[in-house]
Structure 1
Amino acid sequence: MSRALGQDARGTLASIGSSVAFGGIYFLTPLLSPAPAESIWAVRNIITIPIIALALVMARQWHLFGDVARLMRRKPWVILGVLVCGAIIAAQLWVFAWAPLNGQGLQVALGYFLLPLVLVLVGRFAFKDKLAWWQWAAAAVAAAGVAFEIVRVGEISWETLLVAIGYPIYFTLRRVIGTGHLGGMLWEFIVLIPLAVVLLVFELSSGTALAVNPALAWSVPVYSACAAGALVLYIMASRLLTMSVFGLLSYLEPALLMIAALLIGERIIDLEWGIYLAVWVAVFTILGGGISQMVRARRPR
């Protein structure tokens, strides 16, 4: 029992630490101006590789990296799957830096709020997961908010869709090709090294951003290392916690991203509140249902 409680405590701290780190990184991203998001992504991609490798070694899971290599040799089509997964995660990391640099931080935060709800629906219809009534209710409320926004402005922002739709495609594809672990993620970063190097060479040859803000020479690598560390904490939490607890704690990150976006000067205006209120109602419905379910599961019978 004490060992299980210790594991829960470590997992909870790792999850909270990850969310706080991502929120802090999001808030500080504008300090990296005028560095383009493409260059920030390139540095982050390269620096994340040794940190993921170290995490695999420390967790005694380095064999997962070799497992993916053998899988790709045995089934060459898996290489294409890894490339597609790499492109999707690269787009997510890119927009995470691009949004706060360009005044679209709230749109990305909204995507992270919608993401768990989309995953619930993907699990139900793609993998035949069973849903509780409160999960259906939350999804319906969120869908109503999205419908309201479409009627109001005719569309949902591409930044929101990239996060809310892109990640479910990413997770589903990783499950299908058998690379849904840290070893698979390491390969996804490795296959994009050539693109990252080209972008860095292009940026360094122009020298424009560094000339305006010389601190970028150290601030971008530190930013990237902190982001990689937050990612490792996130993966650690997913291994230590039950799926229900991990899912509930995952809502802390978009809440902090939203606060960070507001602190750096973005504003929710006029009828935009409609979709945000709907999503918050959905979030609290999920939280309430999940907590209630956990309490009932722990009651002695």
Structure 2
Amino acid sequence: MFKGIVLSVLASVTFGVLYFYTQLLGMFDSEQTFGWRILATLPFLTAFMYFTGEIGNIAVIYRRICKKPILLLGLLLTSALSSLQLWLFLWGPIHGRGLQVSLGYFLLPMVLVLFGCVFFKEKLSKFQLLSVILAAFGVALAIWRQSGIAWETIVVAVGYALYFLLRKKLATDHLGGFWWDLLLCLPVAIYFIDTQPQVWVQILFDPITLLIVLGLGLLSSIGLGSYILASRYLPLILFGLLSYLEPVLLALVSMLLGESIEASEWWTYIAIWAAVLVLVLEGSWHIYQQRKQAQRLKKRIQNIDQ
């Protein structure tokens, strides 16, 4: 579980960096940025899978498709859901809608917790229950203040939750499944890139632009790879609750990019940050308890040896 927590935190931090990184891609619109992201991420993701021992899952899914071709329909659906999220993640900060997208990531953990309880019969700890209550309070304040929810918020919160649920149902909730998601949306990515054909020449002959695109692929592979692995190693509830760190970072980056939080919005962010703090306290408590148990076990072994 500790590995899953580390991967989740790594993914959140990387996504925060990516939100800011989009400002370096001013030569592209959101669709072209999406296309280059997919094209640049796939080779880096393949390398990431090789070093994490996940590379064999690509062939596993290929064999499953050969035995049961209908699985390809499920993969096309998960590919469409993930592609929509990857595009919206880039579209938000480029079009000044970063806070609406980040609010979707605030709401996403609540939906994941609900799905975990309903579909997988997972249980909440006392700390996790308190975290959910705090987060629900913050999200409810945001919905009340806005007299509704922006479409970007709904797409992120519901779309991502459905994506993770479907992957678990299809048993493709590993990096191999995500690799196939990217591969299947590659034709769409290339189509978006070709809307500006001269960029191919710019990429080949301008080292700065090439490095920026390669950096986009590298960061995306680390963030997305870590995120998918974390969803595999953690219960859906804990994975959802840890996801609160990401929207906190995205909101901070959105403010650095010129967006602002109104006075009435601060209560929402304070409630969410408090929810994250509760999870940190729970994690610290578990680490403390594990160390105490390890010390007790060590003393018992020493007493036996004596």
The TM-score, its normalising length taken from structure 1, stands at: 0.81
**Amino acid aligned to 2:16:** G
**Amino acid aligned to 1:148:** L
Distance change (3 Å), C-alpha of 1:31 and 1:243: same
Q: Separation in 2 of the partners of 1:274 and 1:10? A: 30
1:133-160: CA deviations, max 9, x gaps? 3323322332233333333322122222
Q: Separation in 2 of the partners of 1:106 and 1:162? A: 14
User: Which residue is 1:54 aligned to?
Assistant: 47
Q: Which runs of 5+ in 2 are unaligned?
A: 297-306
User: Which residue is 2:250 aligned to?
Assistant: 257
Q: Separation in 1 of the partners of 2:83 and 2:121? A: 29
Q: Separation in 1 of the partners of 2:135 and 2:230? A: 26
User: Which residue is 2:164 aligned to?
Assistant: 171
User: Which residue is 1:280 aligned to?
Assistant: 273
Distance change (3 Å), C-alpha of 1:179 and 1:223: same
User: Which residue is 1:144 aligned to?
Assistant: 137
Q: How does 1:4-153 map onto structure 2 within 5 Å? A: 12=6, 17-153=10-146
User: Which residue is 2:195 aligned to?
Assistant: 202
Paired residue secondary structure (1:203): coil
Equivalent residues, number = 288
User: Which residue is 1:3 aligned to?
Assistant: none
> 1:240 offset after TM fit, Å?
8.2
1:229-258: CA deviations, max 9, x gaps? 333344566778999997776544333222
Moved more, 162-171 or 247-256: 247-256
Q: Separation in 2 of the partners of 1:298 and 1:114? A: 34
> 1:129 offset after TM fit, Å?
0.5
- Contact 2:107 2:139 survives alignment (8 Å): no
**Amino acid aligned to 2:151:** W
> 1:201 offset after TM fit, Å?
1.0
> 1:187 offset after TM fit, Å?
0.6
Distance change (3 Å), C-alpha of 1:174 and 1:15: closer
> 1:52 offset after TM fit, Å?
2.1
**Amino acid aligned to 1:22:** F
User: Which residue is 1:156 aligned to?
Assistant: 149
Q: Separation in 2 of the partners of 1:74 and 1:105? A: 43
**Amino acid aligned to 1:288:** L
- Contact 2:81 2:163 survives alignment (8 Å): yes
**Amino acid aligned to 1:187:** W
- Contact 1:110 1:276 survives alignment (8 Å): no
> 1:298 offset after TM fit, Å?
4.5
1:204-228: CA deviations, max 9, x gaps? 26x6xx7xxx865552343233322
Moved more, 234-243 or 270-279: 234-243
> 1:180 offset after TM fit, Å?
0.8
User: Which residue is 1:4 aligned to?
Assistant: none
Distance change (3 Å), C-alpha of 1:216 and 1:238: same
Q: Separation in 2 of the partners of 1:250 and 1:280? A: 12
Q: Separation in 1 of the partners of 2:3 and 2:255? A: 31
> 1:53 offset after TM fit, Å?
1.9
**Amino acid aligned to 1:138:** S
> 1:188 offset after TM fit, Å?
0.5
Distance change (3 Å), C-alpha of 1:242 and 1:278: closer
Moved more, 185-194 or 136-145: 136-145
Q: How does 1:176-255 map onto structure 2 within 5 Å? A: 176-204=169-197, 216=209, 218-234=211-227, 250-255=243-248
**Amino acid aligned to 1:263:** L
